[in-house]
Structure 1
Amino acid sequence: MFTTRPELAGDFGMVASTHWLASATGMSVLERGGNAADAAVAAGFVLQVVEPHLNGPGGEVPVLLWDPGERRVSVVCGQGVAPAAATGERLLGLGLSLVPGTGLLPTVVPGSFGAWLLLLERWGTWSLADVLAPAIHYADRGHPLLGRVSTALGTVADMFRAHWPTSAATWLPGGAVPAAGSRFTNPVLAGTWRRLVAEGEAAGGSRERRIAAARDAWYRGFVAEAIGSYCATAEVMDTSGRAHGGLLTADDLAAWQPAVEEPATFDYHGYTVCKTGPWGQGPVFLQQLALLEGFDLAAMGPGSADWVHTVIEAGKLAFADREAWYGDPDHTDVPLDGLLDPEYTAQRRRLITGTASLDLRPGSPGGRSPRLPRYPQGPDVLGAADGTAGAGEPTLAATGEVRGDTCHLDVADRHGMMISATPSGGWFQSSPTVPELGFCLSTRGQMFWVEPGLPNSLRPGARPRTTLTPSFALRDGEPWLAFGTPGGDFQDQWSLHFFLNAVHGGMNLQEAIDAPEFHTLHVPNSFYPRDTHPGHLLLEERFDPDVLAELRRRGHRVETGDAWSLGHVSAVAREDGWLRAAANPRGNQGYAVGR
């Protein structure tokens, strides 16, 4: 099978990510004696600089890690929580029925810094100064600006000038949109990182003590104070069409800390797939596997009408359950065992017929009645002239038009450690820049519902039910595959298709990534304005026309996108005594490196 690039193989180390500079940074750490945790942290900070439309220092990151010493998969939760003042009643009092997609109201505690430092402290070997050095270099000396960054800045430049002057000062040097390929710097951000390193080093003592001191400087020191002051004093335009201040305070940052959790898992044909808990959408991957276990996908064959139809229909059921049941398990009772129960799954599987469903059909695990939010009615207004440009994650329009995204990176080292991480949030197009710090805040709070009584209702101290969902798989109990993708609601579609291509299609990592991709927008969007497109099915135009015709005959509302436009999966694997890696050609910036 033709592939756009080779599947890499070696025995020293592998790094794959959504940007070549991050991958090269991670590999350079491995080459200089660092382990996978050191490499992932260094690459993660570089992603914040070179993909600022996709993530930033004020964002969040979930991480899955295989520790060869502990011989287990752990989840590092870098998802921040809603402020203490954030309640549905507060927003209803402002006349808001949805959490805005931009501005300061949807901000949550920035969790990525704490998570990266916890990963470094517990599993890494390098100092914070060493892992931050490449990111500081690119922020201070500059990096070649991606064309997509320039385009994204062009869509929000007028809004920055009129409403978000601190963002204009940071992202529009000289008042103009920087050109693709130009050298772009962020010296204020570089200064923030240098001060964090200095405060950590001033604490003295062990490597771990210095890392903890830098984390304190972020969550209980000058960073928290600057964020709290800005949110308390600034009022900025958001997608509601009005200006609002923020609810996030320094006390909210001080009260939060990253956590290490057990993964949610499912055994499938000799593979054990590990995901985050239901504070992320990760378990929908597991629910899809449970449903698909009852079908002979290998006999259908990847890319066939039967394959696409069955996978899409299973996904509709799993994602409907996400809508009705998922939320922060620290604040709501999520019946995850019931959702993965074989008897419940068998009942749900019988709903998959030869015809495309146009309905949203959550189930009743354990006999409990599902409750769905009151979804807004009306057209998709994302990016319209009403000031919503930059709203949402944002990922793709129904047509496949790229509006933004997330990042992903995977690392494997020669010692046996493997990591999958999906950094996101803090995009420059969704939140104004905190002027003293040089970065934006996460608007992940837009994923909450203002409506009370739902698993994902806005609550103080709760995690929003995020779409971020790195993946890890064991084969016969041994670590095999770390993988994932950007893409909001599509993450557990694209990454699932990659996994099924490898497991049932017999493809290597690069073949599984390069295979024609598809997804549905059938389930309501997790991001503002929560639009939905029942029966929608978008496929890359490389699919056989006969397959498209058959899917239309079965009732799918089929659209085709560009031949190489859907999905941004990357992966690293350990198999047959080798390390392997692959990255996505779509978008012309993802890269895998290793030896």
Structure 2
Amino acid sequence: MHSNFSTTQEVRKRVVPTRGGVVASQHSVASRVGAQVLKDGGDAVDAAIATGFALGVVEPWMSGPGGGGAMVIWREKEQRAYAVNFGMESPAGLDPADYPLTGQGRVSDLFPWPSVLDDRNVTGATAIAIPGMVAGMDTAHQRFATRGWADLLAPAIDLARQGPLIDWYSALLTASSAQLIARDPDLAALFLHDGTWPRVGAWTASGQDRLDMSGMAATLSRLAQAGARDFYEGQIAQDLVRDIQGKGGCLSLEDLRSYRARVQEPLTVPHGAAQVHLMPGLTAGPTLADYLNRLESGGKADIPAMADALAGAYAHRLKTMGHDGETHASPGCTSHFSVVDAEGNMVAVTQTLLSIFGSRVLSQSTGLPMNNGIMWFDPEPGKPNSLAAGKPCLMNICPAIVCDPAGGFAIGASGGRKIVGAVAQLVTMMTDGAQTLEEAFHSPRFDISGDLLIADATFAGDVIEKLSERHQVAPRPNAAYPFHWACPSVVRRVDGQNTGCTEVMSPWADAVRVEDL
């Protein structure tokens, strides 16, 4: 099977080494925030906290305080990795009977679950799970950071007060969800014009067309001054609960009060000369570990062998953890960023609202878009991941730290079920394949998280043919929307030199060095 797609157009991103720190994220503005923290003397964890909150402002449809996630931290002096889990959980008052199956088809979002009445598990306040992002950043701050909490939130507050610039890409992402955004008048007032049309920046790029994020700015300001627990026990908590319950959700003050992020031992897997540190538990970490265990470290990146190992690992995930069926195309729906500082400390963070624009609900009193973490659960009873009250969500996220004799790298991606495949391939390319960071990011990839293997059309014909012998293959051209192979952001350290790179096709994502400021 050969592709007929044109290969005359080439898109590249430059990778420049430095002895200083690097932040790679899905938005260049957030990367600059993190790099500035490093320049001012902060370490990788400080930069990660500042970057995380900044991303919640500049791409609020992907992640932010209304969501959750996880991070893996490498402490160079300790020669040790830590995992911080701040995943979302279902409210204690959730009743699975409130999510009856229609018996008519499947959900048309990230996961092809059986359809629920009124899409109550996907859209609206009934889809909102307990958010963990603020608790996760607070836990990392208390345990590992060197800079003050308020100082690290200050850049995000400034960005929210200014309002992120509306451009063609933000308009594209808003247009993709405009019908669902319009269901919530508060969210529509923020992102849509006249409650219907996506806000579009001026053709002349005057710089005056910005989103009004003053509500989020006020919440972040209070969070900076009152502390992180205000989100779970104070005024912010009360505002969130009042807003969400007023729109039909069951999130309670006790849900927020009892929530805690957790510092865990990472799941560590040897792979050749490298040690791969992953998130344990209900994440894609165990699936990546399964992939690595299936794949022999043979000194090269063999694409068909990688496809077989990923197919096996994903089949095991679907059988034992949930998420069965085909994969749906997605523009990303999550934020991932990676940080390395001059001393070699590294952090990989994935944070998410789950779907793009999450539940498509705005907490109007706080200005925060809210997650739809309930969609992570299988609404059909009796499955490994069936919906229940007070239960952690099964996440697709896969932040990782890979340590090798020359240094290592922090890696992760956004893109729903496509995340683990993208991370797995990049890890293999840079370990077994001995590729540089730039080479790995500009190599073609595939996705096999469903029944169909979606292959980059630029793969050589013999590779496509070998893949077709074992899998049903569909070649696709690389594109800025949707991402067929997820959206990774990686930093790498080799012999004291640091580099960073982000998804080549993303117009916003960028790696920023301290020297670039």
Q: What range is the shorter-chain TM-score in?
A: 0.7 to 0.9
- In structure 2, what is the Cα distance between the partners aligned to 1:166 and 1:504? 50
Q: What are the Cα deviations for residues 235-273 of structure 1, in whole angstroms up to 9, with x where unaligned?
A: xxxxxxxxxx21211110001111100111211112111
Give the corresponding residue for 2:28.
20
Where does 1:26-105 land on structure 2 (aligned, <5 Å)?
Answer: 26-92=34-100, 98=116, 100-105=121-126
C-alpha contact 1:551 1:558 (8 A) present in aligned 2: no
Where does 1:492-511 land on structure 2 (aligned, <5 Å)?
Answer: 492-511=420-439
C-alpha contact 1:8 1:593 (8 A) present in aligned 2: no
Give the corresponding residue for 2:512.
593
CA change 1:501–1:457 in 2 (3 A) is same
Return the letter of the residue paired with 1:519.
Answer: D
Q: What are the Cα deviations for residues 506-532 of structure 1, in whole angstroms up to 9, with x where unaligned?
A: 21011111111111242xxxxxxxxxx
Cα distance, 1:546 vs structure 2: 3.6
Where does 1:238-317 land on structure 2 (aligned, <5 Å)?
Answer: 245-293=248-296, 296=298, 298=300, 302=301, 307-317=302-312
> Which deviates more from structure 2 when the two are superposed, residues 109-118 or residues 165-174?
165-174
Give the corresponding residue for 1:463.
392
- Helix, strand or coil for the counterpart of 1:10? coil
Q: What are the Cα deviations for residues 79-129 of structure 1, in whole angstroms up to 9, with x where unaligned?
A: 121100124344349998656222122211110011112212221122222
Cα distance, 1:49 vs structure 2: 1.0
CA change 1:320–1:546 in 2 (3 A) is closer
1:114 equivalent in alignment to 2:135:
yes
- In structure 2, what is the Cα distance between the partners aligned to 1:583 and 1:152? 19
Where does 1:357-368 land on structure 2 (aligned, <5 Å)?
Answer: none
Cα distance, 1:500 vs structure 2: 1.1
CA change 1:94–1:191 in 2 (3 A) is farther
Structure 1 residue ranges without an equivalent (≥5): 200-213, 235-244, 327-371, 381-394, 523-533
Q: Which residue, 368, 378, 396 being the options, matches 1:439?
A: 368
Give the corresponding residue for 2:334.
406
1:580 equivalent in alignment to 2:499:
yes
Return the letter of the residue paired with 1:83.
Answer: P
C-alpha contact 1:542 1:563 (8 A) present in aligned 2: no
C-alpha contact 1:16 1:570 (8 A) present in aligned 2: yes
- In structure 1, what is the Cα distance between the partners aligned to 2:170 and 2:479? 22
Q: What are the Cα deviations for residues 119-171 of structure 1, in whole angstroms up to 9, with x where unaligned?
A: 1222112222211121111111122224332123224334444x311111222
Give the corresponding residue for 1:177.
198
- In structure 2, what is the Cα distance between the partners aligned to 1:280 and 1:157? 30
Cα distance, 1:459 vs structure 2: 2.8
Where does 1:562-573 land on structure 2 (aligned, <5 Å)?
Answer: 562=478, 565=483, 566-573=485-492
- In structure 2, what is the Cα distance between the partners aligned to 1:414 and 1:553? 46
Q: Which residue, 232, 236, 250 being the options, matches 1:223?
A: 236
C-alpha contact 1:145 1:183 (8 A) present in aligned 2: yes
C-alpha contact 2:457 2:477 (8 A) present in aligned 1: yes
Return the letter of the residue paired with 2:125.
Answer: L
Q: What are the Cα deviations for residues 321-360 of structure 1, in whole angstroms up to 9, with x where unaligned?
A: 212323xxxxxxxxxxxxxxxxxxxxxxxxxxxxxxxxxx
- Number of aligned pairs? 481
Return the letter of the residue paired with 1:321.
Answer: H
Q: What are the Cα deviations for residues 249-308 of structure 1, in whole angstroms up to 9, with x where unaligned?
A: 111000111110011121111211111113112111111111111x7462xxx5xxxx33
Give the corresponding residue for 2:223.
196
CA change 1:550–1:36 in 2 (3 A) is closer
- In structure 2, what is the Cα distance between the partners aligned to 1:21 and 1:85? 39
> Which deviates more from structure 2 when the two are superposed, residues 481-490 or residues 542-551?
542-551
Give the corresponding residue for 1:166.
186
Cα distance, 1:229 vs structure 2: 1.5
Cα distance, 1:233 vs structure 2: 2.1
Give the corresponding residue for 1:547.
463
- Helix, strand or coil for the counterpart of 1:569? strand
Q: What are the Cα deviations for residues 147-202 of structure 1, in whole angstroms up to 9, with x where unaligned?
A: 332123224334444x3111112222554521146322311110111122232xxx
Return the letter of the residue paired with 2:235.
Answer: F
Return the letter of the residue paired with 1:562.
Answer: N
Q: Which structure has the larger Rg over C-alpha atoms? A: 1
- Helix, strand or coil for the counterpart of 2:29? helix
C-alpha contact 2:21 2:35 (8 A) present in aligned 1: yes
- Helix, strand or coil for the counterpart of 1:34? coil
Where does 1:337-356 land on structure 2 (aligned, <5 Å)?
Answer: none
- Helix, strand or coil for the counterpart of 1:109? coil
Q: What are the Cα deviations for residues 522-575 of structure 1, in whole angstroms up to 9, with x where unaligned?
A: 2xxxxxxxxxxx2x1112221123432443344523232336753322211222
- In structure 1, what is the Cα distance between the partners aligned to 2:319 and 2:240? 34
CA change 1:297–1:168 in 2 (3 A) is same
- Helix, strand or coil for the counterpart of 1:408? strand
C-alpha contact 1:136 1:193 (8 A) present in aligned 2: yes
Cα distance, 1:24 vs structure 2: 0.8
C-alpha contact 1:581 1:593 (8 A) present in aligned 2: yes
CA change 1:495–1:4 in 2 (3 A) is same
- In structure 2, what is the Cα distance between the partners aligned to 1:106 and 1:414? 42
C-alpha contact 2:181 2:187 (8 A) present in aligned 1: yes
C-alpha contact 2:70 2:397 (8 A) present in aligned 1: yes
- Helix, strand or coil for the counterpart of 2:35? helix
- In structure 2, what is the Cα distance between the partners aligned to 1:506 and 1:554? 26
1:538 equivalent in alignment to 2:466:
no
Q: What are the Cα deviations for residues 385-423 of structure 1, in whole angstroms up to 9, with x where unaligned?
A: xxxxxxxxxx952xxxx5442111111112332100011
Structure 2 residue ranges without an equivalent (≥5): 1-9, 104-113
CA change 1:193–1:173 in 2 (3 A) is farther
- Helix, strand or coil for the counterpart of 1:183? coil
Cα distance, 1:454 vs structure 2: 3.4
C-alpha contact 2:332 2:414 (8 A) present in aligned 1: no
Return the letter of the residue paired with 2:27.
Answer: H
- In structure 1, what is the Cα distance between the partners aligned to 2:154 and 2:343? 24
- In structure 2, what is the Cα distance between the partners aligned to 1:563 and 1:198? 42
Q: Percent identity at matched positions?
A: 27
Cα distance, 1:223 vs structure 2: 1.7
Where does 1:471-510 land on structure 2 (aligned, <5 Å)?
Answer: 471-476=400-405, 480-510=408-438
CA change 1:521–1:323 in 2 (3 A) is closer
CA RMSD of aligned residues (A): 2.5
- In structure 1, what is the Cα distance between the partners aligned to 2:238 and 2:479? 48
Return the letter of the residue paired with 1:185.
Answer: D
- Helix, strand or coil for the counterpart of 2:371? coil
